[in-house]
Amino acid sequence: MSGPTAEGRADVELRLPADNAYVSVLRTTSAGLAARLDFTLDEIEDLRMAVGEACALVLPRAVHGSDVDCRFYLASGRLTVVVGVDAADASPPDTDSFAWQVLTTLADEATTSVAGGRYEITLSLHSELEQDATG
């Protein structure tokens, strides 16, 4: 198994109504977790925006009345976020869309998964401070 699921249980999981009104909760949670990992202010803002763009991509596909699930995987200098919904439209994203372009510019890695009626976006950001310390 590859990706965050291979790392085991998420460190933090949130389930919220699949509604744009709750995106700020996910963005704020992302920022708080990144701060805990000593990300820089610029990296924290990049993560907040990336999570917002991931939500912009998954929420329109959500089954009416369903939830958005967000899982956070914390590692030294790295934060991986998985945002997913039960999807009415489980087709792959338009990689030419503005939201996808912004997301892939902000995140170090971004992938999508469409399986079993679920649509998920996984994104990872690494701290420059951690990269400087290891390489």
102-120 per-position pLDDT tens digit: 999 999 999 999 988 899 9
Q: Which residues contact 125 (CB under 8 A, 6 or more apart)?
A: 34, 39, 43, 46, 47, 50, 78, 79, 106, 107, 108
Angle of CA points 57, 26, 6, to nearest 5°: 80
CATH architecture assignment, domain 9-134: 2-Layer Sandwich (3.30)
Q: In the predicted model, is pLDDT for residue 59 greater than 60? A: yes
Domain boundaries, the chain: 9-134
In three-state secondary structure terms, 60 is helix
Mean pLDDT value across the chain: 89
